[in-house]
Amino acid sequence: MAFKSLEIIEPILQSLLEEGYSTPTPIQAQAIPIVLDGTDLLGCAQTGTGKTAAFAIPILQLLTNSQSFDRRKKIRSLILTPTRELAIQIGESFKNYGRYTKLSYTVIFGGVSQFSQTQVLQRGVDILVATPGRLLDLMNQGFISLKDIEIFVLDEADCMLDMGFIHDVKKVLAALPKKRQSLFFSATMPPEIVKLADTILKNPRKVEITPGQPTVDIIEQFIYFVDKGNKSALLMDVLSDQNIKSALVFTRTKHGADKVVKDLLRHNIKAEAIHGNKAQNARQRALANFKDQTTRVLVATDIAARGIDVDEMEFVINYELPNISETYVHRIGRTGRAGAKGTAFSFCDAEEKAYLRDIEKLIRKRIPVIENHPYPLIDHNPVKAPKQQHQRPQRTTFARPKPESSGDRHRLVRNPR
């Protein structure tokens, strides 16, 4: 199936062609006709499935076909999204796909001065991409009115819930006109999200891309069992492979991300961190440096990583396994996007084995283990293990041994557990 068969108008088709897109992903093929029909949509799909284009393309087309010729543009579509990075990414999508339409858009988010944002809003825009806090702030100041909204999108609803934004979302919903088209996207559908969707959508059509299926099947995944104290040394060893030109590394905490960056810089590996304590301009600069490969390694926390979309990024490294199994799928979904190849390495210490079991239960497959690396987990097989095997390894374990060959150093074992 080609985009042309979805009855996309010529200005958008031309933009898609210039972006190198000719065939829609499954969610795009299913969602675009529904949205073009004016029907409410409930989309259940994880990152990396082409979800943004699934709503951006039809919104651009619907607004173009009902172009308003008022001298002062009114906000006709609102996309509400949880993080600054994701808002910026969505804005770029509207820019790329709508370059040959006469529609205007802007992105607003907190953490930066509101001056430039309010200047654009005062000139008028058709499409507004916003995070909840800054949106409500500018609404309260009188810079934004939502009374003319025709199409509303709530993106990453489960992340909104995780970040405590649901009350803000409800305030935004109260300001929207009753008569509108609503599109609701979430990677997971816990009871609270189902309840929220019921309050937003009217007779929706549902599009569901099986959770975990696209990402889990496409991406090669491997586990390293390693003692917690040796994770830094193992990371340096893995990154000694020059085929890994760039990698996104995940930690569970902001402090952990900063520590990993310090370790990498000590080993002359260019790295930057991206997390909630970083100023917005620093986060954008770090992401830009990573995209153009000035920075080899970007270290991120889970919330900050929402919205990171880097073309042809092949490697994700879970320095620490997430304690929520769905988060694992979100993380590795940063690679293998839109069908491209990708590899995910995960470091698992003794305390994280329970997390690994939950992840494998969710994705319904055993993740192959790489054995014979220089820093094996001492209690890998703890049954009747002598007491001394549980002691902290000596500092000498950090000295990198000279392997016989790279193949011997990281030998893949198919049935290690």
- 204-231 confidence digits (pLDDT tens): 999 987 644 455 677 899 999 999 999 9
Q: Give the largest Cα separation in the chain, rounded.
A: 80
Percentage with pLDDT > 90 across the chain: 57
| Residues 304 and 159: beta-carbon distance below 8 Å | no
Return all residues near 286 (Cβ < 8 A) that are at least 6 apart. Answer: 272, 273, 274, 278, 295, 298
Ordered domains of the chain (ranges, CATH): 3-208 (3.40.50.300), 213-413 (3.40.50.300)
Quote the pTM value. 0.64
Q: Token digits for 82?
A: 């949880």
Over residues 317-331, mean pLDDT: 88
| Residues 203 and 326: beta-carbon distance below 8 Å | no
C-alpha–C-alpha distance, residues 332 and 163, integer Å: 20
Q: 402 vs 325, which has greater pLDDT?
A: 325
Nearest to 206 by CA among 74, 43, 351: 43
Q: Is the pLDDT of residue 49 over 50?
A: yes
Residue 309, pLDDT score: 67
Over residues 248-264, mean pLDDT: 94
Report residue 241's pLDDT band, with 50, 70 and 90 as the boundaries: very high
C-alpha–C-alpha distance, residues 274 and 223, integer Å: 24
C-alpha–C-alpha distance, residues 201 and 106, integer Å: 25
Distance spanning both ends of the chain, measured CA to CA? 43
In which order are the strands placed within the sheet that holds 151-154?
105-108, 127-130, 77-80, 151-154, 181-186, 41-44, 205-208
Nearest to 26 by CA among 7, 4, 48, 11: 48
Q: Token digits for 162?
A: 């995780």
**pLDDT-wise least confident of 52-66, 165-179, 331-345:** 331-345
Q: Is the pLDDT of residue 404 over 80?
A: no
Using the CB atoms, write b or e for 97-120: b if 16+ within 10 Å. bbebbebebbbbbebeebeebbee
Percentage with pLDDT > 70 across the chain: 84
Q: Is the pLDDT of residue 385 over 80?
A: no
